[in-house]
Amino acid sequence: MTQTMTNHAGELKDKIASKTALVGIVGLGYVGLPLADALHVGGMRVLGFDVDQKKIEFLERGENYLKHLGAGMTTRLSESDKFEATVDFARLNEPDIILVCVPTPVGPHLEPDLTYVIKTAEAIGNRLRAGQLVVLESTTYPGTTRGDFIPAMLEAAEKSGRGTFEVGKDVFVAFSPEREDPGRKSHTTTTIPKLVGGVDELSTELACDVYRHGVTEVVPVSSADVAEAAKILENVFRAINIAMVNELKVVFDAMGIDVWEVIKAASTKPFGFMPFYPGPGLGGHCIPIDPFYLTWKAREHGRVTRFIELAGEINRGMPEWVVEKTAEALNDDTKSVKGSNIIVVGLAYKPNVDDTRETPAAEIIELLAERGANVSYHDPLVPTFPEMRNYSFSMDSVPLDEPTLTNADCVLIVTDHDVTDWQAIGRHAGLVVDTRNAMSKVPGGVRARIVKA
């Protein structure tokens, strides 16, 4: 450690060590809420911020609006005198540490949209005080913390009369990428290693001290830029490999080869191979979006990321391919898409969660509806079609009972929740288009004709 410990840093370090520091978390969604709980369980006082009053009311009642996290989490928080949630961003001067967990979507032309990040930076700046540590967790391109977030925060502080602040002396800033894996109980906020990169050594040290109260393993890196780039690499790695198997799926399909059997066979190799699985398209907040943050930033530096952009093109084309396979399957039954009753099974983007962010199911439903299909959906975890940025449907989940299934011309599987009644589909459906290889797991075989897509 070569950077001199300032008075503000020393005081904050003592507060963190004694667990008297107050942690503010901006954004109580899929990242912020479990992070709040992890730090709270670790003994820290937590003040949550969110613009959605409904979330605050849920938390006050001890109810969890993120069902996959369970009721125990919000009951624990609501009953604690060490946790509070508010919509009042004027209270941002109260926390000693502020962790920013806000969305980073892309715009209509796949350009980065840092609106939420910049607005949060400005809100913090308007209430900034000496001795605060601010950590950005939102996934973004390398250089955002240093080049976008900090300038917005410091400019707002000066304009609002809070004064001028020197980062690394008066206030401290770091980046620590979220690594949530909703629905997988073996990977939790507490057990997933936490990368931390400050814009200076003191900021890194202080941020690591905070996270160690809620995370088992904290991994410091040399800079915020490295932490940002590591998160992008993690998601680009997955996006490219998923694109590869999606492309192979199309090729093998034309050859009459089952890509799922091929992957299973290749997985017997104990070295040099890691299985990735095809699907109807990418969903969630990270993998469909983050590669485009990097490609955009690369152009600023005169570089073209052809490999990454090709992967994005392949993955974004999967919903259209699934709809084409559905049309072909119906055609084999002497039916057209227009007028056919099609049930889309699974609205969430991945199994066993109610998360519909960037779900390919929404695009598939829209494409089928545009072709004249009578589309419904079944998802026990998403009983009503939610409000989305790009899609709006007035629909409720339909049951998988015998009348509904026998009346369907096609059942199209998009997401394979464990709670879905796969045996009912196998018994009563006539045609099933399966994008997840879900029907292969039904014991005793099925009556329905299965088409893999």
Dihedral-angle region of residue 143 (phi above 0 means left; psi in -120 to 50 means alpha; beta otherwise):
left
> Which pLDDT band holds residue 286 (cuts at 50, 70, 90)?
low
pLDDT at 216 over 80: yes
pLDDT at 112 over 60: yes
Strands 341-345 and 374-378: parallel
> Three-class SS string for 285-307?
CCCCCHHHHHHHHHHHCCCCCHH
Task: Answer for the pair 361, 414: CB distance below 8 angstroms, yes or no.
Answer: yes
**pLDDT on residue 1:** 53
For the segment 158-169, the average pLDDT, to the nearest whole number, is 96
The β-bridge relationship of strands 172-175 and 194-198 is: antiparallel
Does the pLDDT value for residue 431 go beyond 60?
A: yes
pLDDT level of residue 311 (50, 70, 90 thresholds): confident
The three-state secondary structure class of 146 is: helix
> What value, to the nearest 5°, has the Cα angle with vertex 25 and ends 24 and 27?
145
Complete domains list, the chain, with CATH = 7-222 (3.40.50.720), 317-452 (3.40.50.720)
Q: Nearest Cα to 23, choosing from 171, 207, 220?
A: 207
Residue 339 makes CB contacts below 8 A (sequence gap 6+) with: 372, 373, 374
Work out the angle between the directed axes of helices 224-255 and 259-266 (0-180°, nearest 10): 120
Q: Which two tokens stand for residue 297?
A: 């930033």
Do 24 and 49 meet the contact criterion of CB atoms below 8 Å apart?
yes
What is the predicted pLDDT for the residue at 183?
Answer: 66
Nearest to 350 by CA among 277, 396, 283, 287: 283
Going by their DSSP bridges, the two strands 194-198 and 431-434 should be labelled as unpaired
- pLDDT surpassing 90 at residue 333: yes
Q: How does residue 288 score in pLDDT terms, banded at 50, 70 and 90?
A: low
pTM: 0.90
208 labelled catalytic: no
For residue range 50-81, what is the model confidence (pLDDT) as tens digits? Answer: 999 999 999 999 989 888 888 889 999 999 99
Gap between the Cα atoms of 341 and 148, Å rounded: 49
Q: Of 101, 208, 286, 410, which residue is the catalytic one?
A: 286
pLDDT, the chain, mean: 93
pLDDT digits (tens, 9 = 90+) for 353-410: 898 988 999 999 999 999 999 999 999 999 999 988 788 899 999 999 999 999 999 9
